[in-house]
A = this chain, B = another copy of it.
Amino acid sequence: MPKPKLLPGWLTAYHTGQLPGDLVAAMVVTLLLVPQGLAYAALAGLPAQLGLYASLLPLVAYAVFGSSMVMSVGPVAVISLMTAAALMPIAAPGSSEYIAGAILLSLLSGVMLFAFGLLRLGAMAQFLSHPVISGFISGAALLIIIGQLRPLLGIASGGESAIELGMGLVAELGSLQLLTAAFGVGTFILLLFARKGLVQLLTLAGIPAASASLLAKLMPIVTVLGSASLVMVMDWQEQIAVVGTLPGGLPQLAIPAIDVSLVTKLWLPALAIGLIGFVESVSIAQAFASKNRQRIDTNAELRGLGAANIVSAFSGAFPVTGGFSRTAVNADAGAHTPLAGVLAAILVALVLVFATGLFQTLPMAVLAATIVISAIGLVDIKSLLHNWHYDRAEGLAQAGTMLGVLLAGVEVGIVTGIALSLATLVWRASRPHIAIVGLVPGTEHFRNVNRYEVETRSEILILRVDENLFFGNAEAVEKFILRALDAQPEAMHVVLVMSSVSSIDATALDMLDMLNARLIDLGMQLHLAEVKGPVRDQLEHDHFPERLGGEIFLSTFRAYEALGLEVMEELQRKQSQ
């Protein structure tokens, strides 16, 4: 366990040479964080200013507790969608109960993550497979895109699943507001261009690559401020949906109210939000740490994200986690340490105190376009195709999780994903590899009879089990052995070579006991060979060797020799009778 330190390591080792990089990164990240904060608050069904509140203290808390040097914490698309999905059945979006629910979600997931971090449960990130995580995020992103087409085009329709949303869109296409759609589609095209073609165009026009890239990064804030100004100048506030009055000033810190009946409803969604946020954030952190030859401590990540969510709740805001696009911008702009995050928080605070008026006339359609652009980047069809080619079962799990999210929502999607993760695991393990082996002549080695020229005796059946024995494969192993015995009717001894078996669970032990009893009934003996130390200890603790009809041999060769001798004596005895 690391010694608890008063100050984070990066701070005590800080040197002023790191400051310029951190400061530039903070400025660039803030320009992305402000529009994203407003947009993701809208996605979560919350007042826009909460998106900025969630982009303030959580960054500082992560800087103190987290382990990534470049991670940018704050509101992200998938978590905002999950927040909305958890709160929709409980209250009307934007109502005070809804906001109280969002705060409680953030508090609960924060406390759970922080506690998991203290309990050093960081390794649980690995309980979800990559294909399932990727399928979940792609599905959620597609759901977000389909859902955001409504505010983007100014269409009045709703729904929860992709099908409802899609059908609603088509049915209400007539209600499309042209001005809203113009802002939405216009912003979408501008942002797409900023991502795909602008840098090349600017470089072609003679602007240095670094400046061109910086200009492209300014595009989100440019479209936000530009569209807000345009609406104000043209006095279009009444014709299209805009953000509206945004209370200025810093958030009022408050101890979140804890309503027990709400806790019973929200702890499970809070757990899901915490875990998905953690898994998403850790995979981003690891990808960037690997590039910079740094390492991520998953327990510190749990504490960092937990603290970020707790302070988000105290700020009156909603669940946060590490986001991919902002982290990429942060790393790219030269962030050296989490000080960049602290500086970005200060800049967001300045925006809150001095500049909220700028966003009052910002069209919601522009925010929707911002969300759609980020969400497009999350849809990973390439990974689906890759995994499908690599392993059909995992491709199916990935597609199933994606479809689950799309057709039945994020919560069913998570459950589907976990179930599919585990089902592929059990399915794989339930088809154990077993080989009938024989002696390679002139050696003490035993090899598969189907692949090698080996020596065998019809009275001795030797099988090598290449998998741990557990409930998922116990029956299959038993069946294989019984079938092999059917094919070798002269067999008097069955030897199981256990060199690849590191564990035998209670179900598999029951199977061995039943097999042993059955062989004794049939006048045969079951033997084990090459049992690993810990497995042998476990078997002895259970007195299995005393129940075993045969013996436990140290090596397969020794079993083969001893049993061969026994068989010879037995045959001679029979002949002499």
Contact = CB atoms under 8 A, between A and B. Distances in A.
Contact of A518 (B290, B468, B510): B290
Interface stretch (A15-23, A32-40, A306-314, A426-434): A426-434
- Size range of the chain A interface in the assembly: 35 or more
A475 B123 contact: yes
A233 interface: no
A470 interface: yes
Interface in A415-447: 421-422, 424-426, 428-430, 433
B474 A126 contact: yes
A130 interface: yes
Contact of A130 (B295, B421, B433, B506): B506
A428 B472 contact: no
A466 interface: yes
Interface of chain A, main secondary structure: helix
A5 interface: no
Given A422-B426, A428-B503, A468-B428, A482 B129 contact: no
A507 B126 CA distance: 9
Contacts of A290: 514, 517-518
Contact of A522 (B127, B293, B387): B293
B466 A394 contact: no
Contact of A507 (B129, B500, B506): B129
B506 A387 contact: yes
A467 interface: yes
A386 B425 CA distance: 27
B421 A471 contact: yes
Contacts of A505: 129, 391, 394, 424, 428
Contacts of A358: none
Interface in A103-157: 123, 125-131
Given A126-B476, A390-B541, 19 more contacts: A126-B472, A126-B473, A126-B474, A126-B475, A129-B470, A129-B506, A293-B518, A293-B522, A390-B538, A391-B506, A391-B538, A394-B506, A422-B426, A425-B426, A425-B429, A428-B503, A429-B468, A467-B468, A500-B500
6 contacts: A123-B475, A128-B471, A130-B510, A286-B514, A390-B538, A467-B468
